[in-house]
């Protein structure tokens, strides 16, 4: 009965929003399962291993940060061509490979977690172009960092979970800016507002998913919260470990709830909201397997152009 009521609430909320039933997306999902889903909910491509990050490039090549395996105990970065051919770009040398980003000049930005957490930029042959140590705690490897991204000015934006910090590094690895993600009024950090994804937008603001704290915030250039989304803004407790995030060309924000579906099978895995915090689109699959990160590929059949902000 409880599940039925939740489903009715979801349906009614979508009907009241109007747009929610007319917007459809296809997307790449990285997590316990790795796949591309079309706008009608059909999986059109799958990858056998679990992943943490990934991009579909304009030519159809898919770049994936792959979890640890017997073949690659430190994780890996794998390129999958449109014809299914696979190539290992990078074999992780420590505990985990937690993110990968294709750059405009054809390289890849990678983070390694471990005793010596670091950021690397490598070319397609795996040759190191950039390599510097990350300024974060070393005790908990898994909670060191996630979605590192190279910015247009050649610097790097890196979220550090247990440090409650988003740090911007120079091309040489020097910290030039640091945002504290501690919730105001919570100096003991009882709310685990761990930054997972940080997106620098064209207006200089930074969108940040704060995973265990179940918040998404937008920070101005000084680190002040100028917009945020919490479960109080949604029809239900839909933000359940929000990990990945993407800012769409129209300004809407899509968020993945990694734990969505574990406690309630009707809870969305993906949520799109506009800046007025109105729900525009949701993806519900009823599975416990979470989506770690994702990439929205098109909207109502219209391919998204440009570099994805994710």
Query: Cα(242)–Cα(260) distance, rounded to whole angstroms?
Result: 9
User: Quick check: 166 and 160 in contact, CB under 8 A?
Assistant: yes
Query: Cα(67)–Cα(92) distance, rounded to whole angstroms?
Result: 10
Query: Cα(41)–Cα(36) distance, rounded to whole angstroms?
Result: 10
Query: Cα(60)–Cα(112) distance, rounded to whole angstroms?
Result: 26
pLDDT for position 288? 84
Query: Cα(228)–Cα(218) distance, rounded to whole angstroms?
Result: 6
User: Quick check: 244 and 267 in contact, CB under 8 A?
Assistant: no
DSSP labels for 33-45?
SEEEE-TTS-EEE
For residue 84 the two structure tokens come to 């299914």
Q: By three-state DSSP, how is residue 23 classified?
A: coil
pLDDT for position 16? 38
pLDDT for position 21? 54
Residue spans of the chain under pLDDT 70: 1-21
Query: Cα(297)–Cα(130) distance, rounded to whole angstroms?
Result: 29
Query: Cα(198)–Cα(244) distance, rounded to whole angstroms?
Result: 9
pLDDT for position 306? 87
What is the domain class of 49-180 according to CATH? Answer: mainly beta
- Domain positions in the chain: 1-47+181-310, 49-180
User: Quick check: 86 and 77 in contact, CB under 8 A?
Assistant: no
For the domain with range 1-47+181-310, which CATH number is right: 1.20.120.850, 2.40.10.500, 3.40.50.80, 2.30.30.60? 2.40.10.500
Max CA pair span of the chain: 57
* Residues in contact with 55: Cβ distance below 8 Å, sequence separation at least 6, in sequence order: 28, 62, 63, 100, 101, 102, 295, 308
* Separation of CA 110 from chain center: 14
For residue 9 the two structure tokens come to 């609430």
For residue 278 the two structure tokens come to 């109105």
pTM of the full structure: 0.92
User: Quick check: 168 and 175 in contact, CB under 8 A?
Assistant: yes
For residue 132 the two structure tokens come to 């510097």
Query: Cα(2)–Cα(44) distance, rounded to whole angstroms?
Result: 33
* Residues in contact with 99: Cβ distance below 8 Å, sequence separation at least 6, in sequence order: 52, 53, 65, 109, 110, 111, 145, 146, 147, 148
User: Quick check: 84 and 72 in contact, CB under 8 A?
Assistant: no
Nearest Cα to 295, choosing from 48, 34, 19?
A: 34
Tens-place pLDDT, residues 123-163: 999 999 999 999 999 999 999 999 999 999 999 999 999 99
């Amino acid at each position: 009965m409880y599940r039925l009521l939740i489903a009715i609430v979801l349906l009614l909320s979508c009907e009241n929003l109007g747009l929610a039933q007319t917007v459809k997306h296809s997307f790449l999902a990285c997590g316990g399962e790795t796949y591309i889903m079309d706008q009608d909910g059909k999986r059109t491509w799958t990858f056998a291993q679990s992943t943490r990050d990934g991009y579909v490039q304009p030519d159809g090549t898919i770049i994936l940060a792959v979890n640890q395996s017997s073949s690659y105990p430190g994780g890996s970065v794998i390129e999958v061509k449109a014809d299914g051919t696979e190539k290992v770009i990078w074999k992780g040398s420590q505990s985990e490979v937690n993110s990968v980003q294709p750059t405009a000049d054809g390289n890849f930005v990678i983070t390694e977690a471990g005793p010596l957490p670091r950021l690397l930029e490598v070319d397609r042959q795996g040759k190191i172009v950039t390599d510097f140590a990350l300024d974060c705690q070393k005790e908990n490897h898994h909670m060191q960092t996630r979605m590192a991204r190279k910015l247009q000015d050649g610097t790097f934006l890196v979220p550090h979970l247990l440090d409650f910090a988003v740090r911007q590094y120079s091309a040489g690895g020097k910290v030039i800016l640091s945002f504290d993600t501690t919730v105001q009024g919570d100096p003991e950090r009882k709310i685990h507002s761990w930054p997972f994804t940080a997106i620098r937008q064209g207006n200089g603001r930074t969108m940040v998913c704060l995973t265990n704290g179940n918040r998404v915030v937008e920070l101005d250039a000084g680190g002040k919260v100028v917009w945020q989304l919490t479960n109080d803004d949604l029809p239900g407790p839909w933000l359940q470990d929000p990990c990945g995030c993407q800012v769409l060309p129209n300004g809407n924000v899509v968020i993945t709830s990694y734990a969505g579906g574990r406690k309630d099978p009707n809870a969305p895995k993906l949520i799109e909201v506009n800046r007025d915090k109105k729900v525009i689109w949701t993806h519900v699959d009823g599975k416990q397997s979470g989506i770690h990160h994702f990439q929205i590929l098109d909207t109502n059949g219209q391919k998204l152009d440009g570099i994805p902000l994710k």
